[in-house]
Structure 1
Amino acid sequence: MKVSVILPVFNGEKFIAKAIESVLSQSLSDFELIVVNDGSTDATSDIINGFSDSRIKVINQSNQGPGASRNNALKVVSGEYVMFLDSDDWYCPDALRIAYNQANENDTDISIFQIIKYYQGKYSKNDWFSLSNFPKEFENRVFNPHECRDFLFDISVSVPQKIFKREFLAEINAGFPEGIYFEDMPFFFYTFLNAKRVSIIKEYLYVRRKHHGSITESVDSKFLDTVRAGQILMDIFIENEWYDMYLFDLIAFKINGPRYALMGIEEKCKEKLFILIKKDYESIKSSEYYHDYMDNMGPKKKKFFSDVLKASDFQEYKKLLN
């Protein structure tokens, strides 16, 4: 088995058929597709069961979220390499063949390819998904992830944009945080910085559908999890002794995620998010890492940090902005 594709889905009746069809029609046929039906209550189950192909394996479970769904699938994968597909997206016809061949030929732990976005019948590209943050000298060669030190936090964390060697994931006991959204982010940094051999594939192999229900398109209650995801990320860097190496950019990344989320999140969620951020900052202030934050935050981030600690609630915080 060359590739295992993991496809979690929850109430995905609108788009799941397209996602499955894009795998079954691949030019590489030696794969397994593990569909994790995460407690769907719409017609998703009927659509999945409507496909008759021995390469499809279905895991039916109670609703546990995307992290647990992917982890449960990782327990049963058998392919040399593992890829991830979101239920509202699809692969280009040669995606598995190109990704597998390049990863296998270069013996990489992780290879990263390009994503193209789709919205209302139109396709578009951006620097983030086009891997434009990688300098030219990273193309057509294998590199160590720490060579990306200067732009590590500018790399797309999207897990479906990568192909992973299964043995590598098992060796480092890779898994997704469960019970939160934005589980891709901690998983990416943990796997990427543990890898020894990485490459990029400058070909568009994956189509990301933008629509109203997309996790990253609607800044709603899901963005409350940016705080927890950042805490998990910080723990990963500390536990793996990467903290000192990436200190300045790591702190900026951790502060900016919730900071931008607070600006854009829908009004009814602002107070909840503010309280989560405030509790996090109070914890940081009483920790051994407080001075690292104070010494490495720029003026805007330092003011945000200080204002959150000063204010008792979101309304009081807003007054400090004036």
Structure 2
Amino acid sequence: MTPYFSIVIPLYNKEKHIAQTLKSVINQSYNNFEVVVVNDGSTDKSLEEAIKINDDRITVYSIENRGVSYARNYGIKHAKSNLIVLLDADDHWKSHHLEDLKLLYEKFPDCGLYAKAYTKRKNGINLKSIYKNIPQENNWKGIVDNYFKSSLANSIAWTSAVMIPKTTFEKVGCFNESLNSGEDTDLWIRIALKLPVAFYNKVSAIHLLNAQNKITKTKLSARKHIDFSTYDEATKNNIDLKNYINLNWVSMALQYKIEGEKALEKDIKSHIDYNSISNLQKLLLALPKWIVILILKCRNLIQRFIDLRIFR
């Protein structure tokens, strides 16, 4: 029998997390699925931990290290179902995640992307995600009116909380294998520009920010990041996409500032439309590196107790 879902998990040096991740899949209330784990040349005991989980629905492929985009695309090609559910090897699902995605797909069968609400967890503290222009009523399901406007605080799509039909990849392409940073954002943009996006605001995925060996802990300057200028033509007639990309430019400029990459920071700042950002963001861009680092450290400390929406 063809599985209803194919769950694709790229795996690289996550020996401390992969077992719990797989257990969160096995414990799903809806169980007609296969799991495609792609071991991307792990050098720790990730592979051993993955194959310890005894479940006939799990298939583990081992390949040479080619990066997360290649690993995801490899898993998608080997998936048996038309419905691809993504999950990173250090994140978790609540038991109703797949059941929720099934409900969302059955209600809106013609979308290019299906997304669930998620919570970020850092140092044991849950940080609520904020989505712009999305109804606050419990268990709201619907088509997102404007993906880019709704993603100005937290992104509607996140890799461990989305489902994508294979037909979508046929229309817009898969993950860009030349990127190892922002490859997911690049795909979300391509999908949202061409196809409708469905969203369910019931939280069912947990993003663990303190997991081991996260690529986001590597300096941005050491990674091949998405070049947002490739969307310059698309932004000419799409102000919401322009604002969305503008905030990404701000984020990159601040990251380069923190890393001390002055030339890269200056280049990124040349792309920013300062008329479209907040006074706080303008201030952070103007402040010296050490003050920005101090502010962010204070934010992380206070955020243990308060949800700081001023930064969103």
* TM-score normalised over the length of structure 1: 0.74
2:229 equivalent in structure 1: 234
Q: Is contact 1:64–1:179 with CA below 8 Å preserved after alignment? A: no
CA distance in 1, matches of 2:274, 2:122: 42
CA distance in 2, matches of 1:73, 1:242: 32
Q: Is contact 1:81–1:166 with CA below 8 Å preserved after alignment? A: yes
Distance 1:51-1:296 versus aligned 2 partners, 3 A rule: closer
- Offset, 1:261: 0.5
Q: Are positions 1:257 and 2:227 aligned together? A: no
Where 2:237 maps in the other structure, the secondary structure is helix
Q: Equivalent residues in 2 for 1:274-313 (5 A)? A: 274-278=262-266
Q: Is contact 2:118–2:129 with CA below 8 Å preserved after alignment? A: no
CA distance in 2, matches of 1:189, 1:254: 12
CA distance in 2, matches of 1:132, 1:208: 19
Amino acid aligned to 1:118: R
1:5 equivalent in structure 2: 7
CA distance in 1, matches of 2:248, 2:122: 30
Amino acid aligned to 1:258: M
Q: Equivalent residues in 2 for 1:198-277 (5 A)? A: 198-211=197-210, 213=212, 215=214, 218=217, 220-221=218-219, 223-224=220-221, 228-229=225-226, 231=227, 233-236=228-231, 238=233, 241-246=234-239, 248-250=242-244, 252-265=246-259, 270-271=260-261, 274-277=262-265
Where 1:154 maps in the other structure, the secondary structure is coil
Q: Are positions 1:165 and 2:170 aligned together? A: no
Which has the larger displacement, 54-63 or 11-20? 54-63
CA distance in 2, matches of 1:303, 1:22: 42
Structure 1 residues 262-320: Cα deviation after superposition (integer angstroms, max 9, x where no partner): 2433xxxx23xx334456678x7xxxxxxx96887889989999x9xxxxxx9xxxxxx
CA distance in 1, matches of 2:206, 2:275: 41
- Offset, 1:142: 3.5
**Greater C-alpha radius of gyration:** 1
Amino acid aligned to 2:194: N
- Offset, 1:11: 1.0
1:194 equivalent in structure 2: 194
1:181 equivalent in structure 2: 181
Where 2:78 maps in the other structure, the secondary structure is coil
* TM-score normalised over the length of structure 2: 0.76
Q: Give the root-mean-square deviation of aligned CA atoms.
A: 3.5
- Offset, 1:35: 0.5
Where 1:124 maps in the other structure, the secondary structure is strand
Where 1:164 maps in the other structure, the secondary structure is strand
- Offset, 1:113: 1.2
Structure 1 residues 175-199: Cα deviation after superposition (integer angstroms, max 9, x where no partner): 2343422322111211222223x32
- Offset, 1:256: 0.4
1:310 equivalent in structure 2: none
The runs of 5 or more residues in structure 1 that have no matched partner are 285-291, 308-313, 315-322
Q: Are positions 1:25 and 2:13 aligned together? A: no
Amino acid aligned to 1:173: G
Q: Is contact 1:159–1:188 with CA below 8 Å preserved after alignment? A: no
Where 2:225 maps in the other structure, the secondary structure is helix
- Offset, 1:58: 1.7
Where 2:164 maps in the other structure, the secondary structure is strand
Q: Is contact 2:9–2:89 with CA below 8 Å preserved after alignment? A: yes
Q: Is contact 1:112–1:163 with CA below 8 Å preserved after alignment? A: yes
Which has the larger displacement, 65-74 or 146-155? 146-155
Amino acid aligned to 1:109: G
CA distance in 1, matches of 2:119, 2:151: 21
CA distance in 1, matches of 2:269, 2:6: 40
CA distance in 1, matches of 2:211, 2:52: 26
Q: Are positions 1:71 and 2:73 aligned together? A: yes
Structure 1 residues 32-70: Cα deviation after superposition (integer angstroms, max 9, x where no partner): 111010111111111122233222122211111111111
Q: Are positions 1:113 and 2:116 aligned together? A: yes
Q: Is contact 2:257–2:265 with CA below 8 Å preserved after alignment? A: no
Distance 1:166-1:251 versus aligned 2 partners, 3 A rule: closer
- Offset, 1:248: 4.4
The runs of 5 or more residues in structure 2 that have no matched partner are 290-312
